[in-house]
């Protein structure tokens, strides 16, 4: 933990000073120069700091911009997603979630509940599996082929008797998701739970989030899912527009 704290302190020092040498950083941290040099070496290998070879000074690297950009996207989409999620939840009466991809899972960063979803469980902050959720299927369907195959090559956990665990069957479903513009699940993560989801795109067309509607199967029956999916796709397109897509 001490090393992590010192590494973060190095980044904060460089953010404040702009650039600094090993001796200066060691003095700020109150450690030996060799310790500061090792910390800088690790951060440099990860692209979080870089060195001006002619002066020997270190400064924040492009890796920090990458992390900051990812955080900014989440903050922006959270802000822009509020009215879209609220309107959809009010119209449909069900729970609306906004999720972002996080390695092998989808993480819900926003939730709005409709009038019929008073007793719905809280999905906010929850990591959910890609293969067994509507939002997760959206991410898989729009993932780079090599990354998608990497996910499908792993054992797929069965959550209910309806969970799709055969990679070949899931591939076929993902093709349909891409074609129709939304994904659907019917008791694949939890018995009694149904959901639909559609992709949200950034200004460059990349899928950065999934907008989903979920509820009990007695309200979200199989024959109702296509209409709900289409309406969710329209809302997701509006959020994409707010994120700069299509301009």
**pLDDT per residue as tens digits for the range 213-222:** 999 999 999 9
- Tell me what percent of the chain is helix, strand and coil, each rounded to the nearest 5: 50, 20, 30
Confidence (pLDDT) at 244: 84
Residue 55: DSSP 8-state = T
User: Mean pLDDT over residues 119-147, rounded?
Assistant: 87
Query: Residues 212, 96: contact at Cβ < 8 Å?
Result: yes
- The full set of domain ranges for the chain reads 1-72, 73-241
Judged against a pLDDT cut of 80, whether residue 135 lies above it is answered with yes
The most confident of 18-22, 60-64, 72-76, 196-200, by mean pLDDT: 196-200
CATH 3.40.50.720 fits 1-72, yes or no: no
Confidence (pLDDT) at 71: 58
Class of domain 73-241: alpha beta
3-class secondary-structure state, position 114: coil
* CB-based burial, 58-71: b 16+ in 10 Å, e otherwise: bbbbebbeeeeeee
3-class secondary-structure state, position 4: helix
Query: Residues 39, 7: contact at Cβ < 8 Å?
Result: yes
Number of Cβ within a 10 Å radius of residue 28: 17
Confidence (pLDDT) at 121: 59
Confidence (pLDDT) at 122: 66
The most confident of 107-111, 119-123, 136-140, by mean pLDDT: 136-140
Mean pLDDT lowest among 18-27, 28-37, 72-81, 178-187? 72-81
- Rounded to the nearest integer, the mean pLDDT of the chain is 88
Confidence (pLDDT) at 28: 86
Confidence (pLDDT) at 66: 64
Q: How far apart are CA 247 and CA 143, in angstroms?
A: 23
Torsion of CA 203, 206, 227, 75, to 10 degrees: -70
Biggest distance spanned by C-alpha atoms of the chain = 69
Number of Cβ within a 10 Å radius of residue 153: 9
Q: pLDDT tier at 155 (50, 70, 90 boundaries)?
A: very high
Query: Residues 109, 78: contact at Cβ < 8 Å?
Result: yes
Which tokens go with 219?
């309200």
Q: pLDDT tier at 46 (50, 70, 90 boundaries)?
A: confident
Task: For the chain, give the percent of residues with pLDDT over 90.
Answer: 53
Give the ranges where 46-166 is alpha helix by DSSP (H): 62-92, 134-141, 145-152
Residue 142: DSSP 8-state = T
Q: How far apart are CA 141 and CA 75, in angstroms?
A: 24
Q: What is the CA radius of gyration of the chain?
A: 22
Q: How far apart are CA 155 and CA 242, in angstroms?
A: 37
């Amino acid at each position: 933990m001490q090393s992590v704290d010192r590494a973060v302190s190095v980044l904060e020092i460089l953010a404040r000073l702009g650039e600094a040498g090993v001796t200066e950083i060691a003095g700020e941290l109150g450690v030996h120069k060799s310790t500061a040099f090792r910390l800088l070496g690790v951060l440099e290998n990860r692209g979080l700091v870089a060195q001006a070879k002619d002066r020997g000074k270190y400064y924040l690297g492009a890796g920090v911009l990458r992390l900051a950009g990812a955080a900014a996207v989440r903050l922006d989409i959270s802000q822009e997603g509020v009215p879209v999620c609220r309107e959809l939840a009010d119209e449909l009466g069900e729970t609306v979630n906004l999720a972002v991809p996080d390695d092998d899972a989808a993480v819900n960063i926003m939730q709005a509940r409709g009038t019929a979803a008073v007793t719905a469980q809280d999905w906010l902050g929850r990591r959910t599996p890609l293969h067994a959720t509507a939002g997760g299927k959206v991410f898989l369907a729009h993932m780079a082929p090599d990354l998608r195959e990497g996910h499908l090559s792993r054992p797929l956990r069965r959550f209910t008797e309806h969970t799709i665990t055969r990679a070949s069957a899931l591939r076929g479903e993902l093709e349909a998701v891409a074609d129709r513009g939304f994904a659907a699940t019917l008791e694949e993560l939890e018995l009694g739970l149904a959901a639909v989801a559609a992709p949200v795109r950034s200004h460059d067309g990349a899928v950065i989030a999934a907008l989903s509607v979920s509820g009990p199967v007695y309200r979200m029956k199989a024959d109702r899912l296509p209409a709900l999916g289409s309406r969710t796709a329209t809302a997701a397109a509006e959020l994409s527009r707010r994120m700069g897509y299509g301009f």
